[in-house]
Amino acid sequence: MTLTLLPNILLLCILSMLVIVSESTDAQEVWSDKALRYTGFRFEIRVNNEEFDFKLILASRAENHFCFGWVQDSPRGTIVGEARCKNEAGQKMIEFVSALGTDESNIRIYEDSLIRLHPSSFKVMPPGRNTCFREEPHKCSHLYFQGEDGTPFQDR
């Protein structure tokens, strides 16, 4: 008897999900829900201590908080990167990054929490990888960007 009820139960579950999705027609509501659960941010910090490799320290802290993203040395002598974490961990990461940097540090929190580069974990990027953006922090000093396959293209 329970096996005959299973298809009906599945149908009810699917219909209830469709009702929930149809009630949320505004895509902004869906994104704001993600923004409530996650924190995404980009940073550029200047560190006055040459004694430690702060990229590895940031990567270790991010992995401990189950964040993903990336960090890299920039041509300007700063440390740049992005991170996306669950909200509480994201706030802790922002505080940690802020504490590492000097007054020249710049952190930009994304409203939609979505970071622009998406590694599956937290990566230390090689120095040659072009990771710059159209706007600060870590703004490109030129108009050329590098695609995922490594080929350059001009930003429009």
Q: What is the pLDDT of residues 67-112, one digit of tens each?
A: 999 999 888 888 999 999 999 999 999 999 998 888 778 898 888 8
pLDDT-above-90 percentage for the chain: 29
- Cα separation, 22 vs 145, in Å, equals 39
Q: Give the DSSP H/E element, type plus range, for residue 107.
A: strand 106-110
Cα–Cα nearest to 137, from 43, 70, 49, 14? 43
> Both tokens of residue 61?
């802290």
pLDDT score of 76: 83
Residue entry with tokens 């590694």: 119
Q: Kindly indicate the confidence band of residue 10, based on its pLDDT and cuts at 50, 70 and 90.
A: low
pLDDT-above-70 percentage for the chain: 67
